[in-house]
């Protein structure tokens, strides 16, 4: 009589923890040497996906290390189990007042409940539904309720000094368009300019609508180069976005997302700017507040629903979206979400579902942290548990495919299309973890993490490991 799957996984993990360091595959060892990364700066594990056999390779697998964005595997799989793949986020809208002749005599309330994908087009649909209620003018205010998430450190420069990078956007109960402005540059050769489109429009912010075109020695056939540097963008004034340079004509159409320089005011500016662009009128202001809770109870006029969690985690894992991962992580402790509460939720889940020990050290659940830690052994155990779960297809399909899509689209490994792997990268950290498929149909979990100043040079070694694993 065979042991239950869970017990088999524990036995395999115990064998893994007791296994002495094995010689590394020669091609992996050579690639690490070329990258000048010592063996004791990496942790590697290749093991049967079912978790029933000793690992093919185990090197320092029990050492807790910084996994960078690979930590998103913990957050997304915990969410699949705790919330369910069909879970969606609601954004209720309340009308507090009476509507007469197209005017709301009162306030409109929008309450955020953590939707990770309330992007500009979905905000437009939300405001279009408000107009569908017969409201074209609001005599009062538009009030944004963000109270579902506890206040967080909102300094976007606190992690790495790059406040204009969208990946540094802080989570928000009412996260609109990732607190970022998406600029689209479209060359107009006849006018010798590039038109600049901004999404969403921001109330009170002057946005330069065109920039001159520049032509290299080969004109339109030249190399595009660094068009962002050529534009000489100035984002220092929160009330104005301007360009002191020119746009290379050879670049064609380009899209450049930039985090708004004053994230605290972004939501209010975006709602007002889009409302007015849609022809709506507003006598009052857009500001932060709370939906009234005193009697009579105010009921939602309607609710916007997000895409299902199974779809959301594809964006998170395939493109390593940090703020969406943090939104999901905080949502684990709703209705009043906090990082501390979500850490406790995941710790309990890990102990009950994955293993009684080896729980990860969590910070924000996205891996955008210097404090998060997990071992390759623990990550492998998570992946093996997921593989035996009915939720396996949802998790696996959310991972980038080598040489095909997501963060692995440009992967040079010969094992193209044969692995579903989450990648991670920080200064001094490089990581990859997921599933590798062999020609015979066998599947392995693979974890490779480097913590070293030369970590960004570890990719060839990781690709060699993937190819080695794909060859049985």
HEC readout, 372-430: CEECHHHHHHHHHHHHCCCCHHHHHHCCCECCCCHHHCCCCCCCCCCEEEEEEEECCEE
Reduced to 3 states, what is the DSSP secondary structure of residue 99? strand
* Among 293, 275, 295, 294, residue whose Cα is nearest residue 284: 275
**Residues in CB range of 26: below 8 A, 6 or more apart:** none
Is residue 171 in some structural domain?
Answer: no
Q: How distant, in Å, are the alpha carbons of 17, 332, 349 from that of 77?
A: 23, 12, 11
**Residues in CB range of 219: below 8 A, 6 or more apart:** 249, 250
**Residues in CB range of 255: below 8 A, 6 or more apart:** 182, 183, 184, 185
Mean pLDDT across 158-184: 91
The rounded Cα 301 to chain-centroid distance in angstroms is 30
- pLDDT in the model for residue 3: 42
Cross-strand pairs, 144: 110, 288
**Residues in CB range of 175: below 8 A, 6 or more apart:** 112, 114, 115, 116, 118, 169, 323, 327
For tokens 């962002």, the residue is 228
Is residue 158 in some structural domain?
Answer: no
The rounded Cα 36 to chain-centroid distance in angstroms is 31
State which residues form the domain around 34.
Answer: 5-86+309-470
300 and 332: one domain?
A: no
Give ∠ CA 366-10-46 in degrees, rounded to 5: 60
pLDDT tens digit sequence for 304-343: 999 999 999 999 999 999 999 999 999 999 998 999 999 9
- pLDDT in the model for residue 21: 53
Where residue 109 falls among pLDDT bands split at 50, 70, 90? very high
**More confident of the two residues 422 and 215:** 422
Is the per-residue pLDDT at 8 higher than 80?
no
Query: CA-to-CA distance for 223 and 399, rounded, in angstroms?
Result: 33
- pLDDT in the model for residue 10: 46
406 and 365: one domain?
A: yes
- pLDDT in the model for residue 217: 63
The CATH number linked to 104 is 3.50.80.20
Kindly report whether the peptide bond that precedes residue 335 is cis, defined as omega within 30 degrees of 0: yes
Instruction: Find out whether 433 and 383 touch, Cβ atoms under 8 Å.
Output: yes
96 and 73: one domain?
A: no
pLDDT tens digit sequence for 409-423: 998 888 889 999 999
Instruction: Find out whether 280 and 126 touch, Cβ atoms under 8 Å.
Output: no
- pLDDT in the model for residue 265: 96
250 and 371: one domain?
A: no
240 and 319: one domain?
A: no
- pLDDT in the model for residue 440: 87
Query: CA-to-CA distance for 467 and 416, rounded, in angstroms?
Result: 9
Is residue 161 in some structural domain?
Answer: no
Query: CA-to-CA distance for 316 and 398, rounded, in angstroms?
Result: 8
Query: CA-to-CA distance for 467 and 462, rounded, in angstroms?
Result: 9
pLDDT tens digit sequence for 218-227: 656 668 999 9
- pLDDT in the model for residue 414: 80
- pLDDT in the model for residue 161: 79
**For residue 159, which phi and psi values (nearest 5 degrees)?**
-85, -55
The CATH number linked to 32 is 3.40.710.10
Query: CA-to-CA distance for 430 and 439, rounded, in angstroms?
Result: 27
pLDDT tens digit sequence for 382-408: 999 999 999 999 999 999 999 999 999
277 and 188: one domain?
A: no
**Residues in CB range of 354: below 8 A, 6 or more apart:** 378, 381, 382, 385
Mean pLDDT across 105-117: 98
E-strand stretches of 189-264: 193-199, 206-207, 210-214, 233-234, 240-243, 247-248, 254-259
Instruction: Find out whether 417 and 436 touch, Cβ atoms under 8 Å.
Output: no
Mean pLDDT across 96-105: 97
Last residue of one domain, picked from the residues 259, 290, 323: 259
CB atoms closer than 10 angstroms to residue 399: 27
pLDDT tens digit sequence for 16-56: 444 445 789 999 999 999 999 999 999 999 999 999 899 99
What are the structure tokens assigned to 269, written together?
């500016």
Last residue of one domain, picked from the residues 274, 305, 336: 305
Is residue 111 in some structural domain?
Answer: yes
**For residue 110, which phi and psi values (nearest 5 degrees)?**
-120, 120
Is the per-residue pLDDT at 261 higher than 50?
yes
Mean pLDDT across 448-472: 96
Is residue 67 in some structural domain?
Answer: yes
* Among 313, 425, 324, residue whose Cα is nearest residue 68: 425
Is residue 197 in some structural domain?
Answer: yes
109 and 185: one domain?
A: no
Is residue 80 in some structural domain?
Answer: yes
Instruction: Find out whether 145 and 111 touch, Cβ atoms under 8 Å.
Output: yes
298 and 328: one domain?
A: no
Total domain count, the chain: 3
Where residue 352 falls among pLDDT bands split at 50, 70, 90? very high
Is residue 201 in some structural domain?
Answer: yes
**Residues in CB range of 422: below 8 A, 6 or more apart:** 69, 70, 72, 73, 317, 320, 399, 400, 432, 433, 434
The rounded Cα 237 to chain-centroid distance in angstroms is 27
- pLDDT in the model for residue 16: 43
Give the DSSP letter of residue 351. I
Mean pLDDT of the chain: 93
For tokens 């004034």, the residue is 237
For tokens 């994955």, the residue is 354
64 and 117: one domain?
A: no
**For residue 373, which phi and psi values (nearest 5 degrees)?**
-145, 145
64 and 203: one domain?
A: no
Give the percent of the chain with pLDDT over 90: 85
355 and 449: one domain?
A: yes
375 and 237: one domain?
A: no
Instruction: Find out whether 61 and 376 touch, Cβ atoms under 8 Å.
Output: yes
What are the structure tokens assigned to 153, written together?
């450190």
């Amino acid at each position: 009589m065979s042991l239950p799957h869970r017990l088999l996984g524990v036995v395999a993990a115990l064998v893994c923890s007791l296994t002495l360091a094995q010689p590394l595959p020669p091609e992996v060892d050579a690639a690490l040497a070329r990258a000048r990364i010592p063996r004791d700066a990496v942790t590697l594990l290749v093991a049967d996906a079912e978790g029933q056999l000793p690992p093919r390779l185990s090197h320092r697998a029990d050492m807790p290390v910084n996994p960078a964005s690979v930590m998103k595997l913990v957050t997304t799989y915990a969410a699949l189990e705790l919330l369910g793949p069909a879970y969606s986020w609601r954004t209720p809208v309340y009308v507090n007042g009476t509507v007469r002749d197209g005017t709301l005599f009162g306030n409109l309330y929008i309450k955020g409940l953590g939707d990770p994908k309330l992007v500009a087009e979905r905000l437009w649909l939300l405001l279009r539904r408000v107009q569908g209620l017969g409201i074209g003018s609001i005599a009062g205010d538009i009030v944004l309720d963000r109270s579902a998430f506890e206040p967080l450190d909102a300094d976007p420069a606190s992690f790495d000094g790059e406040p204009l990078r969208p990946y540094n956007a802080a989570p928000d109960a009412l996260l609109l368009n990732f607190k970022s402005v998406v600029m689209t540059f479209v060359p107009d050769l006849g006018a010798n300019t590039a038109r600049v489109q901004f999404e969403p429009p921001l109330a009170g912010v002057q946005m330069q609508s065109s920039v001159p075109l520049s032509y290299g020695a080969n004109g339109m056939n030249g190399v595009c180069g660094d068009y962002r540097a050529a534009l000489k963008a100035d984002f220092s004034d929160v009330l104005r976005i301007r360009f002191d340079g020119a746009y290379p004509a050879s670049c064609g159409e380009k899209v450049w997302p930039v985090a708004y320089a004053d994230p605290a005011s972004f939501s209010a500016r975006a709602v007002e700017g889009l409302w007015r662009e849609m022809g709506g009128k507003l006598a009052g202001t857009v500001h932060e507040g709370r939906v009234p809770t005193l009697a009579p109870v105010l009921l939602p006029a309607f609710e916007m629903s997000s895409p299902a969690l199974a779809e959301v985690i594809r964006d998170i894992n395939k493109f390593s979206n940090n703020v969406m991962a943090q939104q999901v992580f905080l949502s684990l402790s709703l209705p009043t979400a906090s990082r501390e509460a979500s850490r406790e939720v995941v710790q309990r889940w890990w102990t009950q579902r994955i293993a009684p020990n080896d729980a990860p050290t969590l910070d924000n659940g996205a891996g955008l942290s210097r404090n998060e830690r997990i071992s390759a052994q623990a990550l492998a155990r998570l992946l093996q548990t997921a593989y035996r779960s009915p939720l396996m297809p949802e998790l696996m399909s959310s991972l980038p495919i080598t040489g095909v899509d997501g963060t692995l689209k440009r992967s040079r490994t010969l094992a193209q299309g044969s692995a579903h792997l989450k990648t991670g990268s920080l200064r001094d950290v490089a990581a990859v973890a997921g599933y590798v498929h062999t020609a015979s149909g066998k599947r392995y979990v693979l974890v490779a993490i480097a913590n070293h100043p030369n970590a960004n040079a570890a990719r060839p070694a990781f690709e060699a490991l993937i190819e080695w694993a794909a060859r049985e």
